[in-house]
């Protein structure tokens, strides 16, 4: 984990410790993060501060944070190449977030679609943190002078506001923050719900059969794929009006590396039952080594503690430079 590596661009990525990482999260994002480590200087975090905009049960929350950290490593993130830290262990995030709050307009935050959505979903707890969530996300990114941030469609608005805040600050005080660009993955599977394939796979879906968790047991994974929605044609091929089968072919392609054409040829003349079983088996084989590594890590708490502490030390060292620079420009007395 070196501070400078041949001027590679910096990419920052973070996941919330929700307790579950779906097959969609893995195939669409996490698997790509592993590949990015060879091309870029990557920084990875478990964004636990973001998670408390929704009430958490302390014991479960603590375990979810550790699980999320272990799962990042189990999926293939290499701590020798990339620092991996827990956000709340690096105080610069909260400090810069407060400063950036004072350079963010109320109107900008009130236009954020995620705030509107979450306010409706958690109407009994519309807290200030939920409102200023994008500013903390901006701090996460800007602290590390990130060149790029991998973003899904639902996070584009957050990156836009981070850019706007950085440009405003730079406009007042001179160049302080790098303006981050979105990173669009070259290849990223878009995994849809197994029960409603017009929607993205999401763990917030009330129907547990609609999504597969990376840590689901093999029999649970198989059961979910066998219950996957298909169509009445009973032909394994990509086509219009075949959202369910299109989704299953996409998943099969993502986990096996086979093209859609190869899959169609392989299952020519076979029914959906055979195909669903084959997809389930391929997914089980893909997540098996991740599950084994995850369990090994959880059984070695000392190793995890060593890794997240060294990750936090590295992150604090890098991020403190940016925070000190910003505070100096504003006029704070150096500590």
Q: Which of 196, 270, 267 is nearest to 227 (CA)?
A: 196
Q: Does residue 199 lie within any of the structural domains?
A: no
* Dist. CA 113–CA 119, nearest whole Å: 10
Q: How buried is residue 228: exposed, middle or buried, by Cβ count under 10 Å (0-12/13-18/19+)?
A: buried
116 pLDDT band, cuts 50/70/90, is low
224 lies in the same domain as 123: no
For 164-168, what is the mean pLDDT? 97
Any idea how long the chain is? 335
Q: Cα 216 vs. chain centroid, distance in angstroms?
A: 18
Same domain, 237 and 279: yes
Residue 238: inside a domain, yes or no? yes
For 60-72, what is each residue's pLDDT tens digit?
A: 999 999 999 999 9
Residue 318 has pLDDT above 90, yes or no: yes
Ramachandran angles phi, psi of 85, nearest 5° = -135, 165
pLDDT tens digits, residue range 277-301? Answer: 999 999 999 999 999 999 999 999 9
Instruction: Measure the CA dihedral 39/40/41/47, to 10°.
Output: -120
Residues 184, 56 within the same domain: yes
Is residue 140 one of the residues assigned to a domain?
Answer: yes
Q: What is the mean pLDDT of residues 13-40?
A: 89
Tell whether 56 is covered by a domain: yes
Cα dihedral 20, 25, 27, 33, rounded to 10, equals -110
| Domain of residue 131, CATH code | 3.40.50.620
Helices (H), 13-76: 23-25, 31-39, 48-51, 58-74
pLDDT attached to residue 4: 46
Say yes or no: 171 and 256 in one domain. no
Shared-domain flag, residues 170 and 227: no
Q: Could you tell me if residue 197 is inside a domain?
A: no
Over residues 151-169, mean pLDDT: 86
Structurally, the chain folds into a number of domains equal to: 2
Tokens of 219: 């029999």
CATH number at residue 258: 1.10.240.10
| Helical axes 113-121 vs 128-142, angle rounded to 10° | 140
SS3 of residue 85 by DSSP: strand
pLDDT of 5 above 60: no
Q: Are residues 176 and 46 in the same domain?
A: yes
> Residues 155, 257: one domain?
no
User: What digits encode the pLDDT tens for the residues 223-258?
Assistant: 999 999 999 888 999 999 899 999 999 999 999 999
Q: In terms of domains, do 290 and 306 share one?
A: no
What is the set of active-site residues?
118, 200, 203
> Per-residue confidence at 17, pLDDT binned at 50, 70, 90?
very high
State whether 73 and 171 are in the same domain. Answer: yes
Query: Quick one: 79 and 218 in the same domain?
Result: no
Q: What's the longest Cα–Cα distance across the chain?
A: 75
For residue 143, tell me if it sits in a domain.
yes
Question: Do 285 and 318 fall into the same domain?
Answer: no
Please indicate, yes or no, whether residues 215 and 284 belong to a single structural domain of this protein.
yes
Confidence tier at 161 by pLDDT (50, 70, 90):
very high
- Determine, yes or no, domain membership for 194: no
- Picking from 37-41, 148-152, 235-239, 296-300, which range would have the lowest pLDDT averaged per residue? 148-152
Q: Is the pLDDT of residue 187 over 80?
A: no
Contact 44, 272 (CB under 8 A): no
**pLDDT tens per residue, range 70-90:** 999 999 999 999 999 999 999
User: What letter would DSSP give residue 183?
Assistant: E
* Domain region containing 278: 208-294
The share of the chain scoring above pLDDT 90, in percent, equals 76
Is residue 181 classed as helix, strand or coil in its secondary structure?
A: strand
Determine the pLDDT at residue 125.
Answer: 75
Question: What whole-number distance in Å separates Cα of residue 225 and Cα of residue 236?
Answer: 15
Does 262 map to a domain? yes
Asked whether the beta carbons of 252 and 286 are under 8 A apart, the reply is: no
């Amino acid at each position: 984990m070196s501070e400078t590596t041949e001027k590679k661009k910096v990419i920052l990525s973070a996941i919330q410790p929700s307790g579950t990482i779906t097959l969609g999260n893995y195939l669409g994002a996490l698997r790509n993060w592993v590949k990015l480590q060879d091309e870029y200087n990557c920084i990875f975090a478990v964004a636990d501060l973001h998670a408390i905009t929704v009430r958490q049960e302390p014991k479960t929350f603590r375990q979810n944070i550790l699980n999320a950290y272990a799962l990042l490593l189990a999926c293939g993130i290499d701590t020798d190449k990339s620092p991996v830290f827990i956000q709340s262990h690096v105080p610069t995030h909260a400090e810069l977030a407060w400063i950036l709050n004072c350079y963010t307009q109320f109107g900008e935050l009130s236009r954020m679609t995620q705030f509107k959505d979450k306010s409706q979903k958690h109407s009994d707890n519309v807290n200030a943190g939920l409102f200023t969530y994008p500013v903390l996300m901006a701090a996460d990114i800007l602290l590390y002078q990130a060149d790029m941030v991998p973003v899904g469609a639902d996070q584009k608005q957050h990156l836009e506001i981070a850019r706007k805040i950085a440009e405003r600050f730079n406009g007042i005080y001179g160049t302080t923050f790098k303006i981050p660009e979105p990173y669009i993955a070259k290849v990223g599977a878009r995994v849809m719900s197994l029960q409603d394939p017009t929607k993205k796979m999401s763990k917030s879906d009330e129907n547990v059969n609609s999504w597969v968790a990376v840590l689901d047991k093999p029999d649970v994974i198989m059961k979910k794929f066998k219950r996957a929605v298909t169509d009445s044609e009973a032909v394994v091929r990509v086509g219009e009006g075949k959202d369910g089968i299109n989704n299953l072919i996409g998943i099969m392609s993502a986990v096996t590396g086979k093209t859609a054409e190869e899959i169609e040829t392989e299952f020519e003349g076979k029914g959906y039952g055979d195909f669903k079983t084959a997809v389930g088996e391929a997914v089980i084989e893909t997540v098996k080594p991740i599950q084994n590594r995850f369990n090994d890590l959880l059984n070695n708490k000392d190793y995890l503690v060593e890794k997240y502490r060294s990750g936090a030390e590295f992150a604090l060292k890098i991020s403190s430079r940016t925070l000190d620079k910003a505070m100096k420009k504003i006029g704070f007395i150096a500590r």
